[in-house]
Amino acid sequence: MWLKNPHDKFFKETFGDVTVTKDFLTNYLPEIIMEMIDVNTLEPEKDSFINDELKENFSDLLFKVDICNQKGYLYFLFEHKSYIYHKTALQLLKYIIEIWEAKSEKEKSNGLPIVIPLVIYHGQKDWNIGLSLGELIQGYGELTPNIQRLVPNFEYLLYDLSKYNDEDIKGEAQLQIVLTTLRDIFTKDSVDLLVIIDRAVKYLRELEDHQTGIRYVETLLRYIFSAGRNLTKSEVVDMMKEIEMNYPEGRDVVMTIAEQLIEEGKKQGLKQGIEKGIEKGIKQVAINLIKQNMEYSFIEEATGLSRKDIEEIVAEIKRK
């Protein structure tokens, strides 16, 4: 039930849907770029260029698309960490080079495809860094244009969702749910999370395809329960009731998730019970060894308890 790296999973499940990504591009790409791109040729690629060390903070998606009637790529980098990485442009350059190398080797081509980088950010802090590689290079701004053209530089498109208000959220129901949820997941309390779900239900009612709506209910709930702040049992129940009452098509999904939550609660309770039992058993072993006047060093080695723990047990025995 609880997702490992929920931001990554939610981003890839939603933006991995070509319909959602097309909708995003149509509503948010600058018009001058949209004129050169044929979104009807958009195809997701399986490649990912984030290494294991960075997967907790970044996700990526690569799409093949015709740009100026040539095969090119759109590269999405999704930042989901609490702080801003100031070398994002350098990071993007590395990924673009990897894309070029991978595609050149696979296609046995001497030419390099166009790669347009896009960054989606939903952290709590304002994005306060430049959007070009040149701004990272010391002294770049003081160079004359003739010298600047000898130094690698590019810009990336930034979408800072934390600055979007409700009027800025555009597109069809699925996209509006995704962007609103990403925007609010870090900043809202349980009351506002209920508002997210209420708004999502409103968008879901607009969908003609009920199966898609049901799938989004599940994706949304799993993300909120995994990535949102620690929710109480009553808050979780309230959220489920909200969906069950206002979007009855999602009732079965809600019930399934509820059953999984109950089962995980039982497992957690069992785990805690076992841990308490083990702890109690270790303590009893220590008591027996103390009563046999064994040395502290031996008791430490036999039980794994610290000297301080053993002294507290001795004091407890003496009080009795």
pLDDT greater than 60 at residue 266 = no
pLDDT greater than 60 at residue 265 = no
pLDDT value of position 135: 95
- Stretch 309-315: mean pLDDT, rounded? 88
pLDDT greater than 60 at residue 124 = yes
Residues in the chain: 320
What CA–CA distance (Å, rounded) separates 125 from 59?
A: 19
Q: Which two tokens stand for residue 137?
A: 């290079």
pLDDT value of position 248: 74
Pairing of strands 58-67, 70-79: antiparallel
Cβ neighbors of 177 (< 8 A, separation 6 or more) are 199, 200, 203, 204, 216, 220
- How much is the pTM? 0.73
Q: Which two tokens stand for residue 26?
A: 């149509």
User: What band does 233 get if pLDDT is binned at 50, 70 and 90?
Assistant: low
- Stretch 139-167: mean pLDDT, rounded? 94
Distance of alpha carbon 315 from its chain centroid, rounded? 49
Q: Which two tokens stand for residue 65?
A: 């698309």
What CA–CA distance (Å, rounded) separates 284 from 249?
A: 54
* Mean model confidence pLDDT for the chain: 82
Long-range Cβ pairs for the range 49-57 (8 Å, 24+): 49/94, 49/95, 49/98, 49/99, 55/5, 55/8, 56/5, 56/81, 57/81, 57/85
What CA–CA distance (Å, rounded) separates 73 from 54?
A: 22
Q: Which residue has the higher pLDDT, 35 or 84?
A: 35
User: What band does 106 get if pLDDT is binned at 50, 70 and 90?
Assistant: confident
User: What band does 271 get if pLDDT is binned at 50, 70 and 90?
Assistant: very low
Q: Residue 155 CB: number of other CB atoms within 10 A?
A: 14
The DSSP element (H or E) to which 263 belongs, if any, is helix 251-291
Q: Exposure pattern of 209-239 as b/e (b: 16+ CB <10 Å)? A: eeeebbbbbbbbbbbbbbbbeebeeebbebb
CB of 75 closer than 8 Å to CB of 117: yes
**Could you identify the residue written with the tokens 């994002």?**
88
Q: Percent of the chain beyond pLDDT 70?
A: 81
pLDDT value of position 270: 41
pLDDT greater than 50 at residue 250 = yes
pLDDT greater than 80 at residue 285 = no
- Stretch 86-102: mean pLDDT, rounded? 93
Q: Percent of the chain beyond pLDDT 90?
A: 36
pLDDT per residue as tens digits for the range 54-90: 666 788 999 999 999 999 999 999 987 666 788 999 9
